[in-house]
Amino acid sequence: MICGGIFVYVRENVCGIMKENKFRFNGGKQKVFHSTKQKRISYIVFSFYFILLIWLVLFKFSTNFSELPSMRGINLIPFYYNQETNTHLREVLYNIIVFIPLGAYVHIFKEDWKKVTKCIVVFFVSFLFEVVQFIFAIGASDITDIIGNTLGGIVGILFCVMMKKIVPKKCISIINAFVGLIELVVIGLLLLLLGANS
């Protein structure tokens, strides 16, 4: 139910570009996808990425809902911790890294949007995750997570812009290959962990 609601939002607001006229030449600009195959692969890779993102952020890769932490808390002070440890720095870095693909795909799917609008979409997705965690008491809602996630999305957008300038014809294929490889590695590791725990 939770995953379905978030996925519907993203499908309508981030990936809702199924109309063919969005991908035709417009004002001398090159179309976003160079083939229908590339377009389908992009949707498939993004869909798997977003499912893994939901599983990670909301369910911490847990296969048993009873193992989820029953907690509800809010921290509105950026980068505030009761006790400073190296774990917090790693957590911020992880929050940035996991949202880089989201920023990249928002830029790919909505290339005609202003960069500020793309950043707002990434921010809203992160904010929605935090709200869901608070409502269902499955984690602490932290402004630091939103900042890290949004920063990761911005990195993804800027990376995609840079790649478009360097290798305009191969940008999407490179991103799909990179994200797809990460997905395979993550899925492989999860299967190994599940096998070891069974």
Q: How far apart are CA 112 and CA 10, in angstroms?
A: 17
pLDDT of residue 18 exceeding 70: no
Q: How far apart are CA 89 and CA 193, in angstroms?
A: 25
pLDDT at 75: 86
pLDDT at 14: 46
Query: Angle 35-182-171 (CA atoms, 0-180°, nearest 5)?
Result: 35
pLDDT at 86: 64
pLDDT digits over 45-101, tens only? 999 999 999 999 998 888 777 777 777 788 888 887 766 666 778 889 999 999 999
Query: Angle 146-77-88 (CA atoms, 0-180°, nearest 5)?
Result: 65
Residue of 44, 41, 35 lying closest to 169 (CA atoms): 35
User: What is the average pLDDT across 25-40?
Assistant: 72
pLDDT digits over 116-152, tens only? 999 999 999 999 999 999 998 888 889 999 999 999 9
pLDDT of residue 106 exceeding 90: yes
CA distances from 60 to 82, 110, 139, 162, 175 (A): 22, 29, 10, 32, 25
pLDDT at 138: 86
For the chain, the structural domain boundaries read 2-10+32-71+89-180
**Dihedral of CA 13/18/23/27: which sign?**
negative
